[in-house]
Amino acid sequence: GQNIDQPTEMTATEGAIVQINCTYQTSGFNGLFWYQQHAGEAPTFLSYNVLDGLEEKGRFSSFLSRSKGYSYLLLKELQMKDSASYLCAVLDSNYQLIWGAGTKLIIKP
Amino acid sequence: NAGVTQTPKFRVLKTGQSMTLLCAQDMNHEYMYWYRQDPGMGLRLIHYSVGEGTTAKGEVPDGYNVSRLKKQNFLLGLESAAPSQTSVYFCASSVDRGRSQETQYFGPGTRLLVL
């Protein structure tokens, strides 16, 4: 079966750096997405990786290793507004998005 | 540009009742999706549509029906609601499912409680 694993919850301090990991086993691979979802709101797109390596976008970076079935989202200079759930999703061979359960990130002052 | 909108925002149903959730998008997107999101689980695809007049089953289609009579609207129906359908329902749209870089744009969600 298809499976996406991410930690359920993480805690970090304002101003610090946090890395959220995602491992996947899917039928084929056509890219990996990270979405941010604040409590009670809709998911919003953060990043997309299809080739190995690091994609940087401001305070957020996303890394992919296809051979290891592994990705991480790196958040720098954490702000209180970064408190949210972070969803990892993989586009499989049928171009269907397979979603992880999400990682709830709690930022403490 | 409203993006993706959903109505209603919240609804309480009794077991056996029926209802329709409406999703509308003003981005001229071909692809539309209905997901449900439950605590501790990832988003699960219920049904999707690749264009006006077409629909297809997703991962968890049982108990739901959909229609896409107009390109901008995607309706999700529950014919006989069950407590297991208590969930948050999200609609999403995208330009093209085949272009893997294309992101999905989500509506604000509908919270459904079935008693």
Residues of A in contact with B41 (CB under 8 A): 101
B100 vs A40, A50, A98: nearest CB: A50
CB B4 within 8 A of CB B25: yes
CA distance A97 to A49: 14
Give B1 or A101, the one with higher predicted confidence: A101
Question: What local confidence, expressed as pLDDT, does residue B40 receive?
Answer: 83
Question: What local confidence, expressed as pLDDT, does residue B99 receive?
Answer: 60
Q: What is the pLDDT of chain A when averaged over all its residues?
A: 95
**Coil, strand or helix: which one is B65?**
strand
CB B91 within 8 A of CB B81: no
pLDDT at A1 over 90: no
Q: How close, in Å, is residue A95 to chain B by CA atoms?
A: 6
Distances, alpha carbon B69 to alpha carbons A7, A89, B6, B32, B103, in Å: 40, 29, 16, 12, 23
Closest CA relative to residue A60, chosen from A41, A75, A43? A75
Name the phi and psi angles at B21, rounded to 5. Answer: -100, 135
Q: How close, in Å, is residue B68 to chain A by CA atoms?
A: 19
pLDDT in tens, chain B (115 residues): 789 999 999 999 999 999 999 999 999 999 999 999 998 888 999 999 999 999 999 999 999 999 999 999 999 999 999 999 999 999 999 987 756 667 899 999 999 999 9
Instruction: Give per-residue pLDDT as tens, A49-60.
Output: 999 999 999 999
Listed by number, the residues of chain A in 51-80 with a beta carbon closer than 8 Å to a beta carbon of chain B are none
Listed by number, the residues of chain B in 49-78 with a beta carbon closer than 8 Å to a beta carbon of chain A are 58
Residues 6 or more apart whose Cβ sits within 8 Å of residue B65: B47, B76, B77, B79
A30 vs B42, B100, B106: nearest CB: B100
A44 touches chain B (CB under 8 A): yes
Question: What local confidence, expressed as pLDDT, does residue A74 receive?
Answer: 98
CA distance A85 to B98: 27
Question: What local confidence, expressed as pLDDT, does residue B103 receive?
Answer: 85
